[in-house]
Amino acid sequence: MAKEMTLLWGSGSPPCWRVMIVLEEKNLKGYNQKMLSFEKGEHKSSEVMEMNPRGQLPAFKHNNHVLNESYAACFYLESQYQSQGNKLIPECPAEQAMMYQRMFEAITLGQKMADVIYYNWKVPEAERHDSALKRNKEALTTEIKLWEGYMQKASGPFVAGKNFSLADVMVFPSVAYLYRFGFSEERYPKLAAYYNSLKDRPSIKTSWPPTWLESPGQDLLKDI
């Protein structure tokens, strides 16, 4: 089964990490995979463009089925291999509803995070303004406080409750990304507890971005 799958991915990319976590959770070992470098522009190579004409990672293929959006790939894998590995969609209606809600809210978290972390990269120097970056940081702070509140009110240790689910698959990589860029554990204890409780989960530890193990992070978010 897994030998019929191909994943082109980039280290540290939350969308790529999501797919890799699901593959681990579903015990899909031995799939074809290749780590590409964003810094070298390898995500724009012909190899990627043939699978994903947007020139983005991940690029995922199972037989002749191509799924390049991480949410799509994760839903597909859970649907196709429901009885294999860990079940990632809770049967409890309340947990399932919470899972869907939180996993799609994770898109907003990722976007507001990127607006701060990649501001200088995305915005030409002549168009940058301290006031704009300040607004982005304020928006991210508000978003993070929302997630801190969610975890404080959660009915279990995971985003949707008592069970690890697709919501955690979507949210954890973004939370880990926050810490990679200097996020404060002391300021947000519930998110810190969530991060520390999951970072050694086998599916997460096995797929941990290799470049993060090789180099230190940055402190761009120390004031958030």
Which tens digit of pLDDT belongs to each residue from 93-111?
Answer: 999 999 999 999 999 999 9
Summarize pLDDT for 30-82 with one digit per residue, the tens. Answer: 999 999 999 899 999 999 999 999 999 999 999 999 999 999 999 999 999 99
pLDDT exceeds cutoff 80 at 1:
no
Helix (H, G, I), strand (E, B) or coil at 159: coil
How many Cβ atoms are within 10 Å of 164's Cβ, its own excluded? 24
pTM value? 0.94
Identify the pLDDT of residue 5: 97
Task: Kindly state the DSSP code that residue 161 receives in the 8-state scheme.
Answer: B
Query: Residue 196 — pLDDT band, cuts 50, 70, 90?
Result: very high
- Inter-CA distances, 93 with 100, 148, 151, Å: 11, 23, 19
Q: What integer pLDDT is reported at residue 25 of this predicted model?
A: 98
Write the CB contacts of 5 (distance below 8 Å, at least 6 apart in sequence).
23, 28, 31, 32, 60, 61, 62
Q: What is the overall mean pLDDT for the chain?
A: 94
Task: Decide if 69 contacts 59 (C-beta within 8 A).
Answer: no
Angle at 187 between CA 183 and CA 191, to 5 degrees: 70
Q: DSSP letters along 52-73, please?
A: -TT--S-EEEETTEEE-SHHHH
pLDDT band at residue 185, thresholds of 50, 70 and 90? confident
